[in-house]
Structure 1
Amino acid sequence: MNKPLDPKVLQRAQVFSHYLKNTELRVDRMAEAQAERAGARVGVSRPHESAHLHVAGEAAYIDDLPELAGTLHCALGLSPVASGQLTGMSLNPVRAMPGVVAVITPEDIPGVNDCGSIIHDDPILCDGEIRYLGQPVFAVLARTRDAARRAAALAKDVLQIEAKTPVISPRQAHELGQYVLRPMHLARSTTEGGAQGAIARAPHRLKGSFSVGGQEQFYLEGQISYAIPKEDGGMHVYCSTQHPSEMQLLISHALHVPANHVHVECRRMGGGFGGKESQSGLFACVAAVAARRLRRPVKLRVDRDDDFMITGRRHCFWYDYEVGYDDQGKVLGAEISMISRAGHSADLSGPVMTRALCHFDNAYWLPDVSMHGYSGRTNTQSNTAFRGFGGPQGAIAIENILDSVARHLGKDPLDVRRINFYGKTENNVTPYGQTVDDNIIHELTAQLESESDYRSRRAEADAFNTSSPVLKRGIALTPLKFGISFNVKHFNQAGALVHVYADGSILVNHGGTEMGQGLNTKVAQVVAHELGVNFERVRCTATDTEKVANTSATAASTGADLNGKAAQDAARQIRERLATLAARLHGGRAEDVRFANDAVQVNGQELPFCSLITQAYLERVQLWSDGFYATPGLSWDRETMHGRPFFYYAYGAAVSEVLVDTLTGEWKLLRADILHDAGKSLNPAVDIGQIEGAFIQGMGWLTTEELVWHPTSGKLTTHAPSTYKIPTANDCPPVLHCQLYQGQNVHDSIHRSKAVGEPPLLLPFSVFFAIRDAVSAVGQHRVDPPLMAPATSESILRAITAVQAG
């Protein structure tokens, strides 16, 4: 008998239901209902496929899996210094701790002691050189998690280290010429002398520096792996990861076994945001090595503080720039150096810097430009992927420049932004050589400007500021253009399996991972649409390296694009076989057979879908298929940094209005208006949820989420929720208008939709520049505020002081 739901669970379900209803009010439900009656299963709003499990607390994550008998728990002994040489370890006190079964050191790794994603420069356990404070040096295996953690905490007492002076800041690394990979340079010249020539000839010049901080992914489910030894040297690893295939290869190298001995599985993650693309590798490898050595299941679930201390995050960037522009604010030439804090190893810093350089242009035509990227090697955690993957760090630099240009000219920043937009048929080639052939930024921005009442609200803000000496209002409208595809060509591929069972139910497995973003929901919708069945017939299973091999990471906003196309390919093959059978058995032509609303129309008859499946099974028709997709038309030369790295662009814009207290530096977001391009959305409700979530997350990056390392010890001092502040419900504006731009992808994406994971993280640029606008109002907009991101209250007060002094 079913037990009654706990009242708290019911309350959560009601809150979720209320949110869904509010979300659906922002989409055209009448049009969606009509499309659904006509047989459409894509382009309609559906709840997340696991939503009912989430609100009831029944969605199983790795730590929820029943532990097998004999399971041991693992914890990591961390370096207490940021730089130095490990000269010895006295591990007997660790082994003597209650409950401890074994201690693992680098010598216990049978294969390669490396978990580097691209460059093999990242040891699983310290190989002698101490690289950062928090680096794993040994692993403790104990009967309970608490016992393992208590023993691992002795690291500071049992490690002998010759400490050295650490390099902490990216500028310090740059001054030392200390990089994790060679510097990158990307330039485009249309006039004599290139960027510097154009700047020298320009009527106006601007030179300055700017910086943005990093950002912790702060996934709700921390890093976790559960390794189970199997027969004949096999290893089954449940891992919270965005890249099961990479984990499979890293584990196989560490164990010194072929990849076919390693089985990696992930049903869902409690968030990833890029933090589980490559950095889950260390934890997966340690768990697998320990399980192999002890021949017992091993679970490694990292404490939140240790997660902060071990793993990397979004790269912070420092910029030095110089631009030349005309009287209207049109940029004639620009040169910029971008310096990132890469951390102690390369990880994904190369692709992140590449994407940053390729997004410096954002939505703007830059005729003469010269860009330089430096990935500084520092004695800090190795920074990695984070939603946007360098794109936000690149695009915010040009936005900051144009904001300053507008202030120097006494113009509305929107007018300066608009005059620099890419053209439709000319001035539409990026610095890296790709033609912007799908430009909708003019129409989208004009629609948002009108619907948000931007001009009248700016006038109201100016009037308010004139009569308000302490509180200042600011407003900003910022656009975005974001390239979609991995900027490494071979990652742009995906596979899928679709099984139709004899009872008409359908099972789908694909290479993407579900981290709450609704990927499985969208893929199931694609398959349901292709086979003309109700959504409820389709079930997606865990991502599994034994089902779809050689998968790419679920990252770069490509999850639905790649895996949706692969699943569509598999389902289409099955549908074509069924159509051929239906025509053979019932007459007519196969191409005239129609699948919709759980029925099959053939030669004037209508059969239930299940009936045709039964006939197909009896006629020995193959009812499963594999599918594959590779994004067409991509090219990239990493030496010249030219080519077509992106299949298409996503666009968007946002207007934000803030109120700043000039005495305390406190601020509040009063209203936000968002218009975002998701193409022909596969699921408008899910996409709106993604856009709103990205907006708040990006706002946190630019305003409250400050990372602080001690300047001499190298310790990350903001390593817990008590010192690191992500946005809460109270930070959401009381007025938030979010809608999808009506249109479709001109390129052949899955059902002409567009990716919606990463691009909207650029929308909250409008919040940062609205704060900057309010600070500027302190000096009647005559002084350019030296506001850096994150715009914490302290940073705002420093900028206000500078404006008042200037």
Structure 2
Amino acid sequence: MRNPPLSRNIIRGAVHAPRHHDSAAKQVTGEALYIDDIPEPKDLLHLYIAQSEKAHARILKLDVSAVRQAPGVVAVMTAEDVPGVNDASPIAGDDPVFAEDIVEYAGQSLFAVAAETIDQARAAAKLAVIDYEELPAIVTVEQAMAEKSFVLPTREIRRGDATAAIKAAKHRLTQRFDIGGQDHFYLEGHVALTLPGEDEDIFVYSSTQHPTEVQHNVAKFLDLPDHAVTVEVRRMGGGFGGKETQGAWFAAIAGLTTKLTGRPAKLRLDRDDDMIMTGKRHDFVVTVEMGFDDKGRVSGAEFIFASRCGRSVDLSGSINDRAMFHADNCYYFENVTIISHRCKTHTVSNTAFRGFGGPQGMLAPERMMDAIACYLGKDPIDVRKINLYGKKTRNVTPYQMTVEDNVAPEIIAELEKSSDYAARRRAIRTFNETSPYLKKGIALTPVKFGISFTATHLNQAGALLHVYTDGSVMINHGGTEMGQGLYIKVAQVVAEVLQIDIERVKITATRTDKVPNTSATAASSGADINGKAAEAAALEIKERLSRFAAEYYGAKLSDVTFLPNRIRVGNQVISFRDLVQMAYMSRISLSATGYYRTPKIHYDAETFSGRPFYYFAYGAAVSEVVIDTLTGENKVVAVDILHDTGKSLNPAVDLGQIEGGYIQGMGWLTTEELYYDDKGILKTHAPSTYKIPACSDRPAKFNMKIFERGENVEETIFRSKAVGEPPLMLAISAFNAIADAISSIADYRLYPELDAPATPEKVLMAIQKISETARSNKLTEAAQ
């Protein structure tokens, strides 16, 4: 059951109102323009990237002479043709756009072909003569650990003495499990279109979450100043983190083509190439050990995370840091050690993905809560409750941040009641007693997710606001729209501040020549920081208009009140449009910039201490599943969610994010399997071999509700909370419910060894292992 629409006796479409996505109608009808829909300019060149067939090899020969002579080919570009720096990395300078002497993953870019048609470019690329000296390839995390192959140094967080606490505990459990990666599988693949301008200027349309980073990398690659490159993004067909950094490669190649030929160029990856060439969610190997008492309270915990980062750093430092920050989730661990290994492998460089390491970190304690409950014969919810952060005590994280806004206990209690969790759990156990082949499972898991970029300098945003003389308003900001509803939320903020109908507010495409030096739209911070920047600009305009009105009518500033579409000055009432026209005639500036920097955050990366997050977003989900013990097939059949959005800016959009986040998380943990062979070749690079959730996978019963008492204790934009990433981790409940169903095979006396994603094969393996262990235990008991 969804929350009922909110009613407000103010402007239609202002904040806290359920308002449809600004592009919804255009997307449904096909009128929404994406980069590949832009009418192709005259003399457009089409690009194809030739990729390495080896995961790790020395390039002995790269002969593209035949490629250059192929029909329709206008240019062939290798590393030797780059006028600037052959790199498009976000941080470390270790991501060459074109391989030079060494290739380090299968799919790495070797050269690009520009031709009159894409078919000509593809055909020509096959004519290259390439000789390799194949080198040993490190593909798995285990191989990297054995070879001590890391992209970054190992990091640790320690509080108290976890080893001693575990040793002294009455009970101890150890779990080791794999967490798979995930492809972003956005509907729109990576694409860039570049146009030539005067003075070597390059205009770039890029499907990117980070226009400024694309601008910087294209300029660096082409040996141009930043001001010579303008990047525009109106909308993306999904991003999920996959377009935060790696879109720069493709924009750079298109830009190089335009620079060398003077012609427009377009580079659009097809689905297979996109999946092969671009990074994924980091897959992890996790070992957890916990010591606990008879009630399940944890006295000591040790987490060891080892992630597959791929061939370069990309954003792996911050991603693995966030995994460490979320190894506690909602639980207080007095004595804890968290170790993070960042492994270098000869696979594509993994990158940002919704949750940014948080989901991998959070899965570890959630799995352990269920394992402890199974060991003690308790309901997992009771074990969770006894380990939750407190309000006044037991409220400091392992990284020394005090949890000041903890509503997890309230959310858990409310959801436990509204979902009828206890009765359903009893009914499921009764069902499993009489069902030999189909088994059901249920789990309730909470979420506590930190909101802010862990790289502190990124927590800033700018906006540009114009009011035109007819009273219409244009707002531009540094955030990008990838389907998540950022544009409509920011428009609502402006409408609320100026008290005008939202139809009078237009948000234009994100452009680097309007708002410079922007941060990526990521870390769930889009509405938080860009909404605040837009609010600052709108408040500046409101202040100017108020002062003008007071002066014009000879009133006090306190006598000026903004009402829906009009302003009252004492006893005078004037329309917003008329006041704007009067202000213009009196030479009052009707344009303003806004800027915002997130307050309070501070963080010492060397000691892992401080306040990396402005606040936390909370939620909880109950998932019910059914598994077939003969085939391993499984299905999520019912979901109940209660999620904290603070004072939601737009409940309709937020509910959509909650639903979509859960489904994407469910796909990560149940169906989406990335498979590399022993030579480092990705074998799952199309919908035929990689299964994202379909409409039929949506649970038949799906109840979502926003936590009605939610209100951000921090001064965020209208006291709202971020909702982009936190809901994804609600799907951990689905994975735990599958484990619960498997556990029933051993009469709930054993917790299964189940890796993620819980594909039918992995479920069958877990069933076989738990069945063998149960039989062995019974034989031992009988012998005794």
Q: Which residue of 1 aligns with 2:695?
A: 729
Q: Deviations over 1:202-236 (max 9, x none)?
A: 11111221111000000101001111121111111
Return the letter of the residue paired with 2:571: G
Query: Where do residues 497-516 of structure 1 align in structure 2 (5 Å cutoff)?
Result: 497-516=464-483
Q: Is 1:459 aligned to residue 426 of structure 2?
A: yes
Q: Is 1:484 aligned to residue 451 of structure 2?
A: yes
Contact kept? 1:652, 1:676, Cα under 8 Å:
yes
Q: Which residue of 1 aligns with 2:35?
A: 62
Q: Which residue of 2 aligns with 1:198?
A: 165
SS in 2 for 1:763: helix
Return the letter of the residue paired with 2:109: P
Q: Which residue of 1 aligns with 2:44?
A: 71
Q: 481-490 or 228-237: which moved more?
A: 228-237
Query: Where do residues 502-651 of structure 1 align in structure 2 (5 Å cutoff)?
Result: 502-651=469-618
Q: Which structure 2 segments of 5+ residues have no match?
A: 774-784
How far has the Cα of 1:596 moved from its partner? 2.8
**Pick aligned residue for 2:705 from 739, 744, 747:** 739
Q: Is 1:359 aligned to residue 332 of structure 2?
A: no
SS in 2 for 1:553: coil
CA distance in 2, matches of 1:161, 1:313: 26
Q: Which residue of 2 aligns with 1:27?
A: 3
Return the letter of the residue paired with 2:117: T
Return the letter of the residue paired with 1:753: S
SS in 2 for 1:437: coil
Contact kept? 2:13, 2:502, Cα under 8 Å:
no
**Pick aligned residue for 1:653 from 599, 616, 620:** 620
Contact kept? 1:100, 1:148, Cα under 8 Å:
yes
Contact kept? 1:222, 1:303, Cα under 8 Å:
yes
CA distance in 2, matches of 1:296, 1:36: 54
Q: Which residue of 2 aligns with 1:136?
A: 109
**Pick aligned residue for 1:83 from 34, 49, 56:** 56
Contact kept? 2:182, 2:280, Cα under 8 Å:
yes
Return the letter of the residue paired with 2:2: R
Q: Which residue of 1 aligns with 2:778?
A: none
**Pick aligned residue for 1:165 from 108, 133, 136:** 136
CA distance in 2, matches of 1:263, 1:434: 40
**Pick aligned residue for 1:349 from 316, 327, 335:** 316
SS in 2 for 1:503: coil
How far has the Cα of 1:782 moved from its partner? 1.2
How far has the Cα of 1:375 moved from its partner? 1.0
Q: Is 1:448 aligned to residue 415 of structure 2?
A: yes
Contact kept? 1:229, 1:236, Cα under 8 Å:
yes
SS in 2 for 1:778: helix
**Pick aligned residue for 1:683 from 650, 653, 673:** 650
**Pick aligned residue for 1:126 from 74, 94, 99:** 99
Q: 1:693 to 1:639 in 2, by over 3 A?
A: same
CA distance in 2, matches of 1:120, 1:387: 24
How far has the Cα of 1:439 moved from its partner? 0.4
Q: Which residue of 2 aligns with 1:15?
A: none
How far has the Cα of 1:412 moved from its partner? 0.7
Q: 1:267 to 1:465 in 2, by over 3 A?
A: same
SS in 1 for 2:436: coil
Q: Which residue of 1 aligns with 2:668?
A: 701
Query: Where do residues 237-248 of structure 1 align in structure 2 (5 Å cutoff)?
Result: 237-248=204-215
State the superposition RMSD in angstroms.
1.0
Contact kept? 1:77, 1:154, Cα under 8 Å:
no
CA distance in 2, matches of 1:304, 1:517: 22
Q: 1:196 to 1:772 in 2, by over 3 A?
A: same
How far has the Cα of 1:154 moved from its partner? 4.1
**Pick aligned residue for 2:350 from 383, 391, 394:** 383
Q: TM-score of the superposition, structure 2-length normalised? A: 0.97
Return the letter of the residue paired with 2:699: P
CA distance in 2, matches of 1:83, 1:672: 44
Contact kept? 2:391, 2:404, Cα under 8 Å:
yes
Q: Which residue of 2 aligns with 1:95?
A: 68
How far has the Cα of 1:100 moved from its partner? 1.2
Q: Which residue of 1 aligns with 2:145?
A: 174
SS in 2 for 1:339: strand
Q: Which residue of 2 aligns with 1:271?
A: 238
Query: Where do residues 217-236 of structure 1 align in structure 2 (5 Å cutoff)?
Result: 217-236=184-203
Q: Deviations over 1:126-163 (max 9, x none)?
A: 011110011000000100112112222445xx211101
Q: Deviations over 1:498-544 (max 9, x none)?
A: 10000000000000000000000000000000000000000000110
**Structure 1 segments of 4 or more deviating over 6 A?**
none
Return the letter of the residue paired with 1:74: L
**Pick aligned residue for 1:110 from 77, 80, 83:** 83
Q: Deviations over 1:94-115 (max 9, x none)?
A: 2232211111000100000011
How far has the Cα of 1:38 moved from its partner? 6.4
Return the letter of the residue paired with 1:732: R
CA distance in 1, matches of 2:3, 2:750: 42
SS in 2 for 1:44: coil
Q: Is 1:717 aligned to residue 688 of structure 2?
A: no
CA distance in 1, matches of 2:719, 2:769: 49
CA distance in 2, matches of 1:388, 1:584: 51
Return the letter of the residue paired with 1:28: P
CA distance in 2, matches of 1:605, 1:587: 11
CA distance in 2, matches of 1:508, 1:90: 50
Contact kept? 2:12, 2:502, Cα under 8 Å:
no
Q: Is 1:184 aligned to residue 160 of structure 2?
A: no
Q: Which residue of 2 aligns with 1:6?
A: none
Q: TM-score of the superposition, structure 1-length normalised? A: 0.95
Q: 84-93 or 788-797: which moved more?
A: 84-93
CA distance in 2, matches of 1:270, 1:407: 43
How far has the Cα of 1:26 moved from its partner? 2.1
Contact kept? 1:587, 1:602, Cα under 8 Å:
no
Query: Where do residues 6-45 of structure 1 align in structure 2 (5 Å cutoff)?
Result: 26-29=2-5, 32-33=6-7, 35-37=8-10, 41-45=14-18
Q: Is 1:776 aligned to residue 743 of structure 2?
A: yes
Q: Which structure 1 segments of 5+ residues have no match?
A: 1-24
CA distance in 2, matches of 1:600, 1:287: 50
Contact kept? 1:587, 1:603, Cα under 8 Å:
no
SS in 2 for 1:182: strand
Contact kept? 1:39, 1:529, Cα under 8 Å:
no
The percent of aligned pairs where both chains have the same amino acid is 52
CA distance in 1, matches of 2:449, 2:556: 44
Give the length in aligned residue pairs. Answer: 772
Return the letter of the residue paired with 2:29: A
Query: Where do residues 366-377 of structure 1 align in structure 2 (5 Å cutoff)?
Result: 366-377=333-344
Q: Which residue of 1 aligns with 2:21?
A: 48
SS in 2 for 1:180: strand
SS in 2 for 1:762: helix
Contact kept? 2:13, 2:501, Cα under 8 Å:
no
Contact kept? 1:39, 1:532, Cα under 8 Å:
no
CA distance in 2, matches of 1:27, 1:778: 38
Q: 1:344 to 1:36 in 2, by over 3 A?
A: farther
Q: Which residue of 2 aligns with 1:10?
A: none
CA distance in 2, matches of 1:262, 1:347: 23
Q: 1:266 to 1:781 in 2, by over 3 A?
A: same
Q: Deviations over 1:318-345 (max 9, x none)?
A: 0122111111111111111100000000
Return the letter of the residue paired with 2:654: D
How far has the Cα of 1:40 moved from its partner? 7.2
SS in 1 for 2:110: strand
Return the letter of the residue paired with 2:225: P
Return the letter of the residue paired with 2:46: H
Q: 1:107 to 1:198 in 2, by over 3 A?
A: same
